[in-house]
Structure 1
Amino acid sequence: MTTDAKVATQRYLISFDDGSMDHIPEEDMPLVGEAAHKVLREAKAAGVWIFGCGVERQQSTIVATDGTITAGPVQEAKVVIGGFSIIEVSSREEAHILAARIAAACRCTQEVREIMFDPES
């Protein structure tokens, strides 16, 4: 009887705050985009990429438990996510390595957080 050895994996959220890329001159944005997409393509080829994207800069809305919808916090008053990646790797160290590559490509600091396991997702 043979068993397939499976490396345990964990999912991580790699993100940066809205406004973190504001220091980049507009004319450099195509280069930044290409550098970021290169990292994304390599992560996909390595099989660790799940999903990621930039988040449109906008006023958020808050949906309460009773369904009431109100205008969200003003961006300047609360840190909001400007972009994120969801990856699945075998260690936090691997997540840090990919986050460092994303940080270099996007020219901004990245935050790495472990995603809690949920057997239903």
Structure 2
Amino acid sequence: MINYLISFPASAMDVPAEELAAVGEAARQVVREAKAAGVYVFGGGINADAAPLMVASDGSAIQATYPQTAEFDGGFCVLRLPSREAAILWAAKIAKACRCSQELREFGDDPES
């Protein structure tokens, strides 16, 4: 089994305000389906109101981000699946529910994780 990250940036979800509740319910239905199938690991959305922090090895923290991740926002989930093909099927379900394309990434295998 492999962990897959399925995600989208907030800007990709261009949904009229009056349809947001329906999109949210459709997304929660996919999450319920993934939980029932036993493949759901974790998911959520990045809290845009909480500024990112850079934490150094000495524990010091400053309000900053890597330049290449300054626009990291939106929603994501991690699913534990048997194959890339299965991950594509789940990503398509999420894309349909959220009404926007999803980015699919595979976590590297680490037996200690």
Q: Which residue of 1 aligns with 2:33?
A: 42
TM-score between both structures, scaled by the size of structure 2: 0.87
Q: Which residue of 1 aligns with 2:45?
A: 54
Give the secondary structure class of the aligned counterpart of 2:15: coil
Contact 2:95–2:101 (Cα < 8 Å) also in 1: yes
Unaligned runs of 5+ in 1: 1-8
Contact 2:5–2:77 (Cα < 8 Å) also in 1: yes
Aligned length: 111
Distance 2:21 2:79 in 1: 24
Contact 1:15–1:82 (Cα < 8 Å) also in 2: yes
Q: Which residue of 1 aligns with 2:106?
A: 114
Contact 1:18–1:79 (Cα < 8 Å) also in 2: no
Cα root mean square deviation, aligned: 2.0
TM-score between both structures, scaled by the size of structure 1: 0.81
Flag the structure with larger Rg: 1
Q: Larger helix proportion, structure 1 or 2?
A: 2
Q: Map 1:1-121 to 2 at 5 A.
A: 9-21=1-13, 23-58=14-49, 59-73=51-65, 78-121=70-113
> 1:46-78: CA deviations, max 9, x gaps?
111111111211321111222221112499x83
